[in-house]
A and B are shown apart, each in its own frame.
Chain A
């Protein structure tokens, strides 16, 4: 009886095939892993562009959280530290004091603290009592009458980062954007300018003060991050508005 050698493989052939198969699987796996790593990118978060915000109040009521993740912030570099602060006082205030009837903020979330008296004027610092702020934007509108140092930002320690942000959908000016998590904020253009200027000045005047130099450099980097982001936004906007052929030709 003749042995059926054609249907049997010798051990060497089997090992060769096994090695080849294993190599192909390993290569495919490694390729897939690398491709996955490359496309992973940085996590993105929602943020509000204050230059697009109109203070409509939607942030207070459309957030899926009971207490909105959008809060007011004060850019002190832009603030006038006014006594008659149009973001703090009702337009028909009875007195320049902290009585509730004089305050513009319906929840009393803006805190007024005396700083100094100069040139016959009293100057005050305004900070946000974050848990009290509901993101209605009333103070933002008031402040915009003058310096516009109060503006809205998404607080990332509160935001649950919905895939489709309900406020972003309802925002009448499409002021909400996805930004890299490391960027955290979107500054007003004017805030970017004043922070950058202060950073440059601090670096210039730091001398041997390493701490001052570092603080100046951080401010400048913060401003430059904003500038880069806005440039990317402009580029993306230009590319999307150009006809396809034009963009490809370019």
Chain B
């Protein structure tokens, strides 16, 4: 019996596949290439299809920006363009006209919005005030720079430059004139500085003082506004405390109004209201930053109505743009003797005029 050596058996070998036609092979290769190309194109390398995060990650301010139309008391009646790159401050003149400060200039407008005159200022202006008939020098124009006040006559001729009581930390964000007093809100030093009409320093208001019950101003950002109505009582926004505080011109505290709240009646966020003015009848107009809205309060500080809601102040009605260069800035406000509210829109560089709706119109709007 012959023994055969066990080795790899040819019987177990699978038969070789028959040769496929070249067309089939190329077809398969093409299909694979096509699938690969589609896969590559489906990968969103450029982020065009968004982040892929769930709606839970979206920031929605629509609920906060929404305002009941029944609360809106004013309507926009005019938009007056200002020929400046940046606009900073607005002030009403006793004759119905108004002034706008921005760039390195001040422009004077008549009541109908016609620009009457302009004059240049030596530095970037940040605040503005016009002296009324009760002042020692009616018509005088005070322009606040970062750390000094430039004084001009009614025609824009320079008269003086004041810096007594100010220092390199000063940042003047608002000016007011009442009788012989000129007052400036110094956000850098967190005080109100008071001079007489000749520029002599009369004192400062608002330093923390336990004995007088003054907590001091909380100013987290460069917004710090003040106004002196006809009652002669200084009203200063304490923006970090989200309220308006009242002082005598000698610096004695008299009280405050305003509450921290996201509701329409209150002020919310870090520091609001950003701007403040007063109507001839003693009611206050506040302007808020963040979600811009302009509201009306009684002389006692009770919420009355909305002059301009977020949607009417910003085209987008929300707050999604976060870049400093593109985000909406705060709106300065002034009020003229006829009750018009002048809103300086820094985004469109316009003065937007809001006038009261007829009482019937307000009811209809509601």
A residues near B (Cβ < 8 Å) are 51-58, 60-62, 79-86, 91-93, 104, 106, 118-121, 123, 136, 138, 140-142, 144-148, 166, 169-173, 188-190, 201
The answer to whether A61 and B218 have CB atoms under 8 Å apart is no
Give me 15 other A-B pairs in contact (C-beta within 8 A), A79-B220, A189-B324 excluded: A62-B51, A80-B270, A81-B270, A84-B261, A84-B268, A91-B61, A92-B64, A106-B57, A118-B215, A121-B240, A121-B260, A138-B58, A142-B59, A146-B269, A169-B45
Which of B218, B238, B290, B323 lies in contact with A52, CB distance below 8 A?
Answer: B323
CA distance A120 to B240 in the complex (A): 10
Stretch in B152-160, B314-322, B347-355 with 4+ CB within 8 Å of A: B314-322
CA distance A148 to B323 in the complex (A): 9
Nearest CB to that of B46 among chain A residues? A170
The answer to whether B218 and A172 have CB atoms under 8 Å apart is no
The answer to whether B240 and A62 have CB atoms under 8 Å apart is no
Contacts of B327 in A (CB 8 A): 144
The answer to whether B53 and A84 have CB atoms under 8 Å apart is no
The answer to whether B319 and A56 have CB atoms under 8 Å apart is no
Q: Mark B302-327, 1 if CB is under 8 A from A, else 0.
A: 00000000000000000111111101
Report how many A-B pairs have Cβ atoms within 8 Å. 136
Nearest CB to that of B319 among chain A residues? A145
Contacts of A62 in B (CB 8 A): 47, 51
The answer to whether A91 and B220 have CB atoms under 8 Å apart is no
B residues near A (Cβ < 8 Å) are 44-47, 50-53, 56-61, 63-64, 169, 215-218, 220-221, 238, 240-243, 256, 260-262, 268-271, 289-291, 319-325, 327
The answer to whether B322 and A93 have CB atoms under 8 Å apart is no
CA distance A92 to B262 in the complex (A): 9
Contacts of A138 in B (CB 8 A): 57-59
A175 to chain B, nearest CB (A): 9
Contacts of A106 in B (CB 8 A): 56-57
B137 to chain A, nearest CB (A): 35
Contacts of A119 in B (CB 8 A): 215-218, 238, 240-241, 243
The answer to whether B59 and A141 have CB atoms under 8 Å apart is yes
